[in-house]
Structure 1
Amino acid sequence: MKKLIGLIWVLMMVVFSACNSDVTREADVLFKDGKYNEAIESYTEYLSTKPKDIKSLYNRGRAYEEVGQLEEAREDFEAVLAIDETNVNANLSMGKYWYNSKDFTKAIYYFDKVIQVDGRVSTAYLLKGRSHHQLGDFDEAKANYDQAINFDNENAEAFLYRGALKVALNQSKGACNDLNRARALGSEEAKDAIARYCK
């Protein structure tokens, strides 16, 4: 009898686990299809039984971002970091949250955490550079734009913002070189800047 109860328990756990897996897969598909509100509901259902699932917490946070519920997104990213403080995606998202909130010092803190974990993330250097740029720390901004380009020489935004920084520093030749590279990489903003500064 004990063996039978044990077997039933194991089968129930397998079925329950398979159902949970289906829920999170469904949520991922909804997210990919841009059905963010439905994805949020599906991730929430999954998290009700697995509240510390990092992937689902992070993806629900991203879905909240997409629908403009930024505080809920921040709470999910913070929940991820409470479980794994070195999570690159959550740190990057927290940096973006503080950047968009115009708290550039806090943003830099999170971008630095990304760089400490994986020093090759071009986006972290780009956004750290933009944060320093906003704070008027032009040398730091340029150094970070340089690093963003060093790790991804097709990072159009890094060329664009480094070009904008060079415009501010009256380095017109270097500025136009960067802006033209950004334009070649598909930046529409660079097109306007070239028309204005690169006669």
Structure 2
Amino acid sequence: MEFSQEEPNNKISISKFESMLKTNSLLFFDSEEFENIIHHYLNNGKVALAKKAIKMGLDQHPTSTNLKLFQIEVYIFEDNLVKANKLLDDLHDLEPSNEEVYIQKANLLSKEDKHEEAIKFLLKAIELSEEEADIYSLIGMEYLFLEQFENAREYFMKCLDLDEFDYASLYNIMYCFEYLEQVEPAIEFLNNYLNTNPYCEVAWHQLGKQYYQLKDYPKALAAYDYAIISDDTFLGAYMEKGKVLERLGHINEALENYTITLELDDPTSYALLRVANCHEKLGNKKLALDYYYKTVNEDPLLDKGWLAITKFYFRAKNYQKALYYINKAIEIDAENIAYWKLYARINHKLSFLEEAERGYKKTLELGNYELSTWLIRTDILIELGEPEAAMYNLLQAMEFYPENAEIEFRLAGIYFLLNENEKATYHLTNAIRFDAEHIIIIDELFPSVAKSPFYINALKKFKLA
């Protein structure tokens, strides 16, 4: 029940109702006034006031079906599903042809994750209702919950057939195409839609995104241009167009589009970040830094903003400042592998070996199993004088890289250091078999081993000494 030409009257009713609550007096409202008051409060998230209005409404109009439906809606919202079910059953007995009863029943079943049953009730509601579009949308959402994206898309398309400007359904249709990774069918659908709605900025915007996925940047640019022609205040089109221009290396034009978004509306942290990146690419380092700081001032919890500042100082070889800002990013997202890798690299540059090792260890714990991570951590542990820890690290690495000469040479060197010559010879044999060219690892990481008689004698067996 939406407000329309009666909205001034609704405001009067709401004002009268709130005055009644303040003065603790009792006034009479007809059932429709109560419905409008409740609808207003629910729409504005004021559930406590809605509940008061429902109670008073039912006290004055105990047989009102619509007020009982609002009561059910609140019960479902608060997870009082038993009460909701009982009241729904009572209403169904009284009004078996009321579509709202079936819709609320479906809502309740959806809450209980019984989405297929919910769909059955919604299909029954369609038979009784003249407002099919809303119910088609609800069915589409149930199919989304079931991850049946083809079925979901079918029902959202029914919504679009009834209202070609139902952009919420259009977005949901595109979500289904995206989840199913059906880029070409999505493009075909959008082109067909645009044949009958050539000035739909949302469709042009979505078409641009599809072409961007295909890396067809000229067509993506054209689509975004048409979106802007259709609505020259469409922020999303300027933003996406900027991304394409950046990708094509047209940095000044990209910057121009990002700047337009800042002029059209309050700046978003993402737009500020893109502007900063463009300035840095153009060599405007002071401006770039200014915008990076504006980014984190706009959204202090945007870890990507702190990361961008970190990389800026890292590229400038100002590692102390880079370390300060990577710590900011990690405080916000301590599970991000990229942040810990950069943290490790910065500490390594500063010769803070223990912290660098901690960073690489954390990336491994988070699931980053790149060979370079295992090897660098090993080399740091060796430099820290912890050969046993380095050995265990390499043995773990072997599970992921079982025949790798760089791992084997390091293991050989460590075992020679630990005077476990039999194991050392075994790994040295493997290393030479896998790739003898990496033998320089022994000279670089284990200079004392390289000069030892046992190692030199071992090499003679392979005719390498």
TM score, norm. by length of structure 1: 0.78
Structure 2 contact 311–322 (Cα < 8 Å) conserved: yes
- Find 1:107's aligned residue among 264, 288, 299: 288
- Find 2:355's aligned residue among 174, 189, 193: 174
2 CA distance for matches of 1:196 and 1:36? Answer: 44
Matched, 1:98 2:293: no
Other-structure match for 1:44: 225
After superposition, residues 18-167 of structure 1 pair within 5 angstroms as 19-84=200-265, 86-167=267-348
1 CA distance for matches of 2:250 and 2:318? Answer: 31
2 CA distance for matches of 1:100 and 1:179? Answer: 29
Matched, 1:186 2:365: no
- Kindly state the Cα deviation for residue 49 of structure 1 after the two structures are TM-superposed: 3.3
Structure 2 contact 261–271 (Cα < 8 Å) conserved: yes
Structure 1 contact 99–107 (Cα < 8 Å) conserved: yes
2 CA distance for matches of 1:197 and 1:47? Answer: 54
Q: Tell me the amino acid that sits aligned with residue 260 of structure 2.
A: A
2 CA distance for matches of 1:176 and 1:102? Answer: 34
Percent of counterpart pairs with the same letter?
A: 15
1 CA distance for matches of 2:367 and 2:284? Answer: 29
Identify which range, 132-141 or 113-122, moves more after superposition: 132-141
Q: Tell me the amino acid that sits aligned with residue 92 of structure 1.
A: L
Other-structure match for 1:8: none
Q: 1:185 to 1:75 in 2, by over 3 A?
A: farther
- Stretches of structure 2 lacking an aligned partner (at least 5 in a row): 1-164, 166-195, 383-465
Structure 2 contact 201–228 (Cα < 8 Å) conserved: no
Other-structure match for 1:6: none
- Kindly state the Cα deviation for residue 152 of structure 1 after the two structures are TM-superposed: 1.2
Identify which range, 131-140 or 42-51, moves more after superposition: 131-140
Structure 1 contact 160–190 (Cα < 8 Å) conserved: no
Structure 2 contact 326–343 (Cα < 8 Å) conserved: yes
Q: Tell me the amino acid that sits aligned with residue 232 of structure 2.
A: P
Q: Tell me the amino acid that sits aligned with residue 186 of structure 1.
A: N
Q: Name the SS for the 1:165 alignment partner.
A: helix
1 CA distance for matches of 2:314 and 2:361? Answer: 20
Structure 1 contact 157–187 (Cα < 8 Å) conserved: no
Q: 1:137 to 1:64 in 2, by over 3 A?
A: same
Q: Tell me the amino acid that sits aligned with residue 37 of structure 1.
A: P
Structure 1 contact 163–174 (Cα < 8 Å) conserved: yes
Structure 1 contact 129–144 (Cα < 8 Å) conserved: yes
Which protein has the larger Cα radius of gyration, Structure 1 or Structure 2? 2
**Matched pairs, number:** 186
Question: RMSD over aligned Cα, in angstroms?
Answer: 2.7
Structure 1 contact 125–147 (Cα < 8 Å) conserved: yes
1 CA distance for matches of 2:291 and 2:281? Answer: 13
Q: Deviations over 1:116-153 (max 9, x none)?
A: 11111111101111222334443332121011111112
Q: Tell me the amino acid that sits aligned with residue 263 of structure 2.
A: A
2 CA distance for matches of 1:80 and 1:190? Answer: 41
- Kindly state the Cα deviation for residue 169 of structure 1 after the two structures are TM-superposed: 1.8
Q: Name the SS for the 1:43 alignment partner.
A: helix
Q: Name the SS for the 2:362 alignment partner.
A: helix
Identify which range, 116-125 or 189-198, moves more after superposition: 189-198
2 CA distance for matches of 1:193 and 1:96? Answer: 30
Q: Tell me the amino acid that sits aligned with residue 276 of structure 2.
A: G
Identify which range, 85-94 or 179-188, moves more after superposition: 179-188
Structure 2 contact 204–227 (Cα < 8 Å) conserved: yes
Identify which range, 40-49 or 15-24, moves more after superposition: 15-24
2 CA distance for matches of 1:99 and 1:188? Answer: 30
- Kindly state the Cα deviation for residue 87 of structure 1 after the two structures are TM-superposed: 1.8
Other-structure match for 2:109: none
1 CA distance for matches of 2:300 and 2:371? Answer: 28
